[in-house]
Amino acid sequence: MLAVLIGAAGFWAWRQQAQSMRRQAERSLAAVGELKADQITTWLHERHGDAEMLRGDPLLSAAVADMLAGRDGRSATTRVQTYLDDFQRNYDYVDVVLTSPKGAVLLRAPNTVSHPVGREAKALAARATTTRRVASSDLYLDAEGKACLALAAPVLSDAGGGGIAAVILHVDPSRYLYPLIRGWPLPSESGETLLVERRGDQVLYLNELRHRKNTAFKLTTPVNTPDRPAAMAVRGRHGVVQGVDYRGVPVLSAIQRVPGTAWFIVAKEDTSEVLGPIRTRGWLTAGLALLLVVLAGVGTLFLWRARESQTSAEIRESAERYRALVEQAPMAIFVNREDRVVLANEACLRLFGASAPDQLLGKSPFDLFHPDCHAGMRERIHRLRDEGEEVPQIEEKIVRLDGSTVAVEVAAAPFRDQGVDAIHLVLNDITERKRAEEELRASERKFRETIEALDEGYYSVTLDGRLLDHNPAYNRILGRDPDADLRGRRTPDFWWDQAGRAAYVQQLNRDGFIRDYLARAKTGDGSPVAVLVSAHLVRDERGEVARIDGSVVDFTARKAAEDEIVRLNAELEQRVLDRTAQLDAANKDLEAFTYSVSHDLRAPLRHISGFSSLLAERAGDSLDEKSRHYVDTISRSVREMGVLIDDLLQFSRTGRTELQIIEVDMDEVLREALEPLRQETGEREIEWSIGPLPRVVGDHALLRQVWANLLDNAVKYTRGRAPARIEVGARDVDGEVVFSVRDDGVGFDMQFAHKLFGVFQRLHSASEFEGAGIGLANVQRIINRLGGRVWAEGEVDHGATFYFSLPRRKETPS
């Protein structure tokens, strides 16, 4: 395109230039023609002037007349001769000849030359003398073959009539005329001027040619030669013509007639010279245009290539950026092109539960969304892809690969993907948001329910005193219809006295809160009621005070309630004191009792034992078998009584001793409790299974006693099992630690389980298993004191499991 433009412009410029140059060349040529014609005319005029001067010179005519008349003898001839000589010298003619009207030579100057007077000259002389006017010849070749021009001036007598003689002036054209014609006013290689005239049907070249010698009066061309400028000249053409000259060379010619003659001036130059510069200029222009075209082409190519490479780099970069952005985006993104998934990012794979892109790529987007959404999707896709409209974000449900549905927010936008209209979708999992919204709603509901149920009046009010929210208790306390909606009402109207309100406002503004401010409110019927107001300023996210939230209680009712609480507390305290005193007294009694038992109950036993032994000793061998049996029975009973008393006293003590509550390592306690059992267990085959036990908070000594009792029982009631299995363990159950001791011993009947922990309750006879039946009672008492429980499971002959629980140790920051 650009090349065509440049070419056209170049051509046009060249054309303009060529025409301009051609016109200029033509003008130059025409000017040369005119100049030559003028010069020739002027020269001819001068020659005529010379002749006219001779014709009109009375001196000459008188002298000639004298000479012809023979008057004055020789002197007349001499005068004429002198005249002619002077004239010939001064005017530079080849020769000047005085002839008779018939053309016979009379005198000549210079008289040294005998120049023949030709036919033409004679004719001229006759014409001049006849017409009494100057006559001139055409150019002709004289007898010697030289180009010649002749003029004849009549010599007139005073008497009138024909001339008495004629003066013939011979002009050698080669001396002046031809050089004049040949001369070219401008530097030119081929510029040449021709002087031609018609001779019959031929054109005669009168002057010497530039390019060919010896042509004057010799070269002719037929008048009808079409493109020969000389021929055209004689045919009447005028001005500048194109043609082919005598050499056969194309020339540009200016044709000019020489006025008063039959001559034509043809000023010509070779077309090649005239148009050479134009062609050169043309080639130059063409070359320049071509260069320009090439340059423009190269430039354009370069620019295009540069832009191309820049553009493609930008496109690549942009594509990279897009890919990275999409891949790393935390939101799920996929591209729908022609209803196929063609791109899905990591987040998208996660969202759909896909482990590889292949699981999504190529699928129809409709497979990814819940059928409920399909109609809406079709409409949106139509709007996006076909109408080019924007679509708003929308909540939809997707179907994950495992079939579960997830609520998402979908943003879609159209774009061109590899030349195809595609849709770019961004999915946001809004499960969490919906859950949060639901939680918020639930929380609000709960808040509403709570404040509805409150006995305290709740209110929320704008800074300018408009009620935003309140609960039924608020209405009740302010003596209004409990169901009335007071929102929008002015709370200052609810105050009995504005002074009280002013103080409330002031304190609220100063401290940001107010507590139990005693005020009088105005009830619905206009009566005052004493209320306690608590309120605080609530600020928004920017920290600006947004509203006031507060509560109001009926002062009178609260006062009454508080008084009641004080009274009840006092009463309770008195009761506690009374009970404590009673308890203290009972404790003291119990202590005195056990002390007494400890000392006084044992002494008689000891005495019985002592004296019965002494009796047996003293009786010695005289005591018969039966008596000895009696004494032994007494001793054994006394020992049993002693154990019983000891156990009872210990049981009493476990209820009275002060608890030493510390953190207790149960593993260690268990080891300590096992130690005294080593003797018996060492002799027996017992498989112990003791799990790790947690640390608890309790009384170390008492817990040791618990373990000792339980383990002792387990060992005792598995007697006869070989091997015996005893398992000790612990586990966490509902905030408690439950310890257990399981054995595979004789067990017990569950219907008597409630008796297990009673004092002196036994499920086996003393002869079967020794013991006072105080051990489990002790265990229960200790565990109860430590805040736990005891229980047991068992089956006759299939073992028993004893459990006790303790509150879980509170984590103490240490």
Per CB under 8 A, the segment of 473-481, 608-616, 725-733, 772-780 that binds another protein is 608-616
- Residue 255: name the closest of 195, 327, 334, 296 by CA: 195
Q: Does 613 bind another protein (CB under 8 A)?
A: yes
Contacts 24+ apart (CB under 8 A), 76-85: 77/107, 80/107, 81/107, 81/109, 81/111, 83/59, 84/108, 84/109, 84/167, 85/109, 85/110, 85/111
Q: Which window, 4-12, 37-45, 157-165, 594-602, contacts another protein (CB under 8 A)?
A: 594-602
For another protein, the closer of residues 323 and 606 by Cβ is 606
Among the listed ranges 188-196, 425-433, 509-517, 635-643, the one in contact with another protein (CB under 8 A) is 635-643
User: Do 787 and 660 meet the contact criterion of CB atoms below 8 Å apart?
Assistant: no
Rule CB under 8 A: say whether 642 interacts with another protein: yes
Amino acid at 648: L
CB 738 within 8 A of CB 803: yes
Residue placing its CB nearer to another protein in the complex, 701 or 753: 701
Residue 606 contacts another protein per CB under 8 A = yes
Regarding 593 and contact with another protein (CB under 8 A), the answer is no
Q: How many Cβ atoms are within 10 Å of 313's Cβ, its own excluded?
A: 10
Contacts of 517 (CB under 8 A, 6+ apart): 503, 504, 507, 532, 533, 534, 535
Contact between 614 and another protein (CB under 8 A)?
yes
Nearer to another protein, 53 or 649 (CB): 649
Q: Should residue 605 be labelled a site residue for another protein when binding is judged by CB under 8 A?
A: yes
Is residue 602 at the binding interface for another protein, with CB under 8 A as the rule? yes
Residues 662-681 that bind another protein (CB under 8 A): none
The rounded distance, in Å, linking the Cα atoms of 218 and 202 is: 11
Residue 378 near residue 391 (C-beta atoms within 8 A) = no
Residue 642 CB, shortest distance to another protein, in Å, is 4
Q: Contact letters (x/-) for another protein, 542-581, by CB under 8 A? A: ----------------------------------------
**Cβ-based nearer residue to another protein, 602 or 809:** 602
| Range in contact with another protein (rule: CB under 8 A) among 464-472, 581-589, 590-598, 777-785 | 590-598
CB of residue 641 to another protein, shortest distance in Å: 8
| Element spanning 726, H or E | strand 724-733
**C-beta of 471 vs 594, nearer to another protein:** 594
Instruction: Figure out which of the listed residues 322, 611, 752, 760 binds another protein, where binding follows CB under 8 A.
Output: 611
Site for another protein, residues 507 to 546, rule: CB under 8 A: none
The stretch among 16-24, 301-309, 592-600, 775-783 that binds another protein (CB under 8 A) is: 592-600
Measured between alpha carbons, how far is 132 from 162 in angstroms, rounded to an integer? Answer: 6
Whole-angstrom distance, CA of residue 285 vs CA of residue 294: 14
198, two tokens: 């018609």
Decide if residue 705 touches another protein (CB under 8 A). Answer: no
Which amino acid type is present at position 118? G
Choice from 657, 676, 755, 768 touching another protein (CB under 8 A): 657
Which residue in the set 653, 671, 755, 798 belongs to the binding site for another protein (CB under 8 A)? 653
Residue whose C-alpha is closest to residue 194's, from 234, 143, 146: 234
Strands 724-733 and 686-690, bridge-based pairing: parallel
- Torsion sign over Cα 170, 173, 175, 181: positive
Peptide bond into 723 cis (omega under 30): yes
Shortest distance in whole angstroms from residue 724 CB to another protein: 31
In the bound state with another protein, the residue whose beta carbon lies nearer, of 73 and 604, is: 604
Q: How many other CB atoms are found less than 10 A from the CB of residue 273?
A: 16
Q: Which residue in 175, 607, 628, 754 binds another protein (CB under 8 A)? A: 607
- Smallest gap, in angstroms, from Cβ of residue 598 to another protein? 4
The sheet that has 736-743: what strands, in order across it? Answer: 686-690, 724-733, 736-743, 800-807, 790-794
Nearer to another protein, 13 or 649 (CB): 649
Closest of 717, 711, 729, 715 to residue 805, by C-alpha: 729
Query: Angle at the Cα of 406 (from 401 to 411), degrees rounded to 5?
Result: 105
- Residue closer to another protein, measured from CB, 288 or 641: 641
For another protein, the closer of residues 183 and 604 by Cβ is 604
Q: Min. distance of Cβ 632 from another protein in angstroms?
A: 12
Backbone angles phi, psi at 724, to 5 degrees: -100, 150
CA-wise closest residue to 428 among 531, 314, 493, 334: 334
Integer Cα distance of 137 and 147 in angstroms = 12
Report which of 92, 197, 96, 108 is spatially closest to residue 150, judged by C-alpha positions.
Answer: 96
Using CB under 8 A as the binding rule, whether residue 603 contacts another protein is answered as yes
Of 584 and 663, the one with the shorter C-beta distance to another protein is 584
369 DSSP assignment: B
Query: Per CB under 8 A, which of residues 186..225 are in contact with another protein?
Result: none
Contacting another protein (CB under 8 A), which of 598, 681, 784, 801? 598
Closest separation in Å from C-beta 610 to another protein: 4
Residue list 761-790, contact with another protein (CB under 8 A) = none
Using rule CB under 8 A, residue 588 touches another protein: no
Evaluate whether 716 touches 799 at the Cβ level (below 8 Å). Answer: no
CB of 748 to another protein, least distance (A): 31
Question: Which one of the spans 259-267, 550-558, 609-617, 797-805 is the region binding another protein (CB under 8 A)?
Answer: 609-617
Angle (deg, nearest 10), helices 73-91 and 58-69: 140
What is the spatial distance between Cα 65 and Cα 258, in angstroms, rounded to a whole number? 37
Question: Of 106-165, which residues contact another protein (CB under 8 A)?
Answer: none
Q: Rounded distance, CA 243 to CA 227, Å?
A: 5
Residue 700 engages another protein in binding (rule: CB under 8 A): no
In the complex with another protein, the residue whose CB is nearer, 520 or 602, is 602
Q: Site for another protein (CB under 8 A): which residue of 220, 225, 261, 635? A: 635
* The one-letter amino acid at 599: H
Which member of 332, 377, 638, 703 binds another protein (CB under 8 A)? Answer: 638
The rounded distance, in Å, linking the Cα atoms of 267 and 37 is 10
Cβ proximity of 744 and 798 under 8 Å: yes
With CB under 8 A as the rule, give the number of residues binding another protein. Answer: 25
Residues that bind another protein (CB under 8 A): 594-595, 598-600, 602-603, 605-607, 609-614, 635, 638-639, 641-642, 646, 649, 653, 657
